[in-house]
Structure 1
């Protein structure tokens, strides 16, 4: 746990959830809300490198670039959202067979493991968060029982990786289950949904700074 004298250096990596698609403004998606919770002085800063459509393969490529590997040792906090675009690609290619689903799960799990390994190789002390999965709206039409099994299988795989690499797992499944009012479209949260994601991160207890005095500055 960093002391109040240590400025927070927070990097958010991932897909459209990190970018904040569906939020009312860049200042109100979960990354910005979470940073305001962590921030205790004007010396704290945040970088949001969320890119809509980024797959786990693209994120792995990003974290292995020299620019990122040089940055990693200086971070106090890092959050990751990834995997969703891989499954969207799988769904769009269709038809969805069990073998295809299991192959995609193993592929994403392997890439996320490599991402976390890179992060921990360059920084063993930072507080890292990995966001799990909720059921997107189309899956309810395809069959909520099968979708639940599939999503919870992925969350179980992510939780295992988080234990291995000492990363905090944020599981949104129960929060979003059957909450159609939390969606802006078929897959992205609306502002209510992002508020819930921010709450899950804040209530995780990892990285909250005792006696904090949140500021409003967000350095994108």
Structure 2
């Protein structure tokens, strides 16, 4: 088990290095909970603000269109015959603290959230990675208890994000996507990572469920095993002597972010929640 954890530590270090390079190189730009108060959207022009991290920015999307965001918007347009105007405020690498900092200091984000009918938020993945990064030297001894306090602090920040949005916009529907485990197919025996993801998603859902017109959208079960739980074997040498197992819903450039198919699955999940409220 220690050997597996050491291997995971090496993988995490490699991923963190890739993130640093991508962050510098890329231009910055379950069941859904039904709250007690539901504002249905009937406007023919729908203003959509997407807030969050790299999943909102669309890292891994080969079309460079913004990942699940335009796919979700197109599904709304096709269903309601409305025009959806998108403002994408995603930024790769952002933690919940950094998202809150941007939304309270950037006038364009404040204005976009204020006028939005629909808001999506991707948050939490970088908070988990931050805990792992800060404990990388001791990762082989980590367990889910090491994430309890960070998760509580994260919940407080998520509540502040909601409060900031509701300060200027009391009617927008807010959809918060959960996080997923990108390491599962490579390290299926490390169940602690899956426990961490599940617990973190539960922490997010608890906050979302306490808010009016807010809906949690789980995506871990849709992504962590790949399509129908099938892994893809990729050659790692010209002689095909060794192979790596990879998730076929993840971007091959980093094996962490979703690829086009993964983002389509995310868009479908958000739209399923949206359609349930606005049928």
Taking structure 1 as the reference length, the TM-score comes to: 0.85
> Per the alignment, do residues 77 and 138 of structure 1 end up closer, same or farther by CA in structure 2, a change over 3 Å counting?
same
Unaligned runs of 5+ in 2: 1-39, 227-246
Residue number in structure 2 paired with 1:187: 256
Q: Does 1:2 align with 2:71?
A: no
1:56 matched to 2:125? The reply is no
The offset of 1:92, in angstroms, is 2.4
In structure 1, distance between residues paired with 2:185 and 2:169:
37
Q: Which residue of 2 aligns with 1:45?
A: 85
Residues 1:140 and 1:116: Cα distance change in structure 2 (over 3 Å): farther
Unaligned residue ranges in structure 1 (runs of 5+):
211-220
Counting matched residue pairs gives 208
Q: Which residue of 2 aligns with 1:218?
A: none
RMSD: 2.3
Q: Offset at 1:207?
A: 7.9
Deviations 1:30-74 (A, max 9, x none): 1010111223445x3101111111111110112223623344331
Q: For 1:176, which of 199, 223, 238 is the aligned residue?
A: 223
* CA deviation profile, 1:191-213 (whole Å, cap 9, x unmatched): 11111101101111358766xxx
**Greater mean alpha carbon deviation, residues 142-151 or residues 108-117:** 142-151
Secondary structure of 2:87's match?
A: strand
Q: What secondary structure, in the 3-state scheme, does the structure 2 residue paired with 1:61 have?
A: helix
Larger RCO, structures 1/2 (Cα 8 Å, 6+ apart): 1
Q: Does 2:192 correspond to 1:152? A: no
Alpha-carbon contact 1:76-1:127 (below 8 Å) kept: yes
Offset at residue 173 of structure 1 (A):
1.5
Give the C-alpha shift of residue 90 in structure 1: 2.1
TM-score (norm. length: structure 2):
0.68
Select the structure of larger CA radius of gyration. 2
